[in-house]
Structure 1
Amino acid sequence: MAMARDAGARARGGSRRLAFFMAVLRTHPSFALGYAIVLMVVLLAIFAPWVAPYPPETADPVAFLQPPGWPHLMGTDATGMDIFSRVIWAPRIDLSIAILGTLLSALIGTTLGALVGYYQSVRGLGRFGAGFVMRSADVLQAFPVFVFAIALVAVFGQSLQSIVLAIAFVNAPIYLRLMRTQVMSIRTMRYVEAAWLAGMPDWRIIARHIVPNAMAPVLAQLSVNIGWSVLLTAALSFIGAGVKAPTPEWGSMIAMGYQNIVTGHWWPSIFPGLALAVTVFGFSLVGSSIEVLSDPARRRRLAGRLETVRGIAP
């Protein structure tokens, strides 16, 4: 009976949270737009083989630079490849690189940030190590991001793995600083001091009491950084340091088509550019919504505004 009551309570709590989330989306259309864009891009990436009308890397010399129309909805490029099919296939590459690179950077940055924030106020070797990590992060962030990413790709070699590593290195200091700031404020809380006085080891205090309560800004930053990483991937491909043509990728498609704009053939670069801009915009909106929903104070204010919706609670 107790297990059944617990299961029922969890189900009711989940339904209330879902109802609250849907109410927030109804009152914040921009958040709903962001989730719709991201969901559409993810679905296109998953179902690209069934949605795309043509193979993304098959060229038809007879159909080169055909304007948008039928049977090529977005026209063809200078090699005769269907732009609509390539725009649909491109998120598979861009999102995969961006998500892997961002998650790796978050893992590295949050781990180092939690350790630095916890030990920075401690004397001895821990404080020295924390200071060394922060000065190293300052050195990394002193370089222009794009130039630093190009240098990393040049060092590791031009491959998908190199782009993922470049994104991870570039973004890691952001998460390090976010987590460090959160941990330094949480470390002085009474429940953390109580856990320390109870003899709990440092690693357990960090993992159980500090990191879970410091993740709100990190989660919000994740979505923003995924969109930014998609843009960085496209920029590297645009200058020839990223994904190699003819692999369908928005940056390389823009690079292949921008030379034809002078002759009036705008569609080979405009359509992938629009897809890239809309995707980055969608992830930015999702990041804004996560920042609001993960903040308890903002959730309470939103719940106050949604009192007219019966049964809604954060």
Structure 2
Amino acid sequence: MKAFLIHSFGDKEKIDTFIDRIKKYKKLEILKLDQSHWLIWRILSLYSIIKSDFIIVIVGEYSHQSKNISWELKIAQKANKKIYVIKLDESFNLPNEIDDMKIITDDELKSIIEIELDINKKIEKNLFNDKESLKNDIESQKLLLEEYKLLLQTSESLILRRQAMNTFFLTANGVLISMLGIITGAKVESSYLYIYYCAFSLVGGILCLSWNSLLVSYGQLNAGKFEVLNRLEQFLPVSIFKAEWIALGEGKNKKKYRSFTQSEKIIPRLFLILYIIIFITVIIFKVTLVKEFIKFLLLKIL
């Protein structure tokens, strides 16, 4: 978890004291810029804002005079980052850009950081709008059951889309391998043959990287859905998915459970290795210039 600090360089000592107070959160990485050339500073600031999970604005004695703070706030707002504002002293003036933003206290900031760092608390906070009504109100419990069914259906449809995606990429790679075989057997002029090999290998490599990336995304999305399902099951008579996960050793014992995503990723990786081997082989044995260059390098080294 990363938090970017927006502050005035003129308040450095007070900022350092503030950072010391939140250093106890080991999982929280504070991104803070020091003074540097304005162009380098802007590049680093933009990168840090994009990289951060949320923004903490420290209003110090000189904040209202800083044009840099105004620029950083505009960038953070454009990036749709969560912005938390805290004043080091009540007497300090706010920059114009944050006049309409809520000012929080030290204790409120600590609570926010704890929620941001604890994924379980974060899910609880955002999942339930009225948790108490689920315990006593029958209508709320019925609505919960319907939402549970809907989420389960979306999880099942996600699996179907994942299978369709696997079929598509498997077929596409099969066609590419077949094309390579046809080209090898066809009467194609040898001086142009390597171009086809390289082209098909590059296309295949891109397909495999896309396939692998989508598998990771589908796996993460499905894991998120089951995490929410487990939360909803707390208000149902039985927790079947939670019990199933425990029976599988909660993913800690590979003999009981092996990640389906990890198993699926083996296939695109094998195809990718094949394309890399073909590409390298063609480059080494088919391109005369490359061969001559390698010979030249070897002679120089040896």
TM normalised by structure 2 equals 0.24
Structure with a larger share of its residues in helix: 1
TM normalised by structure 1 equals 0.24
Higher relative contact order (CA 8 A, sep 6+): 1
Structure with a larger share of its residues in strand: 2
Larger Rg: 2
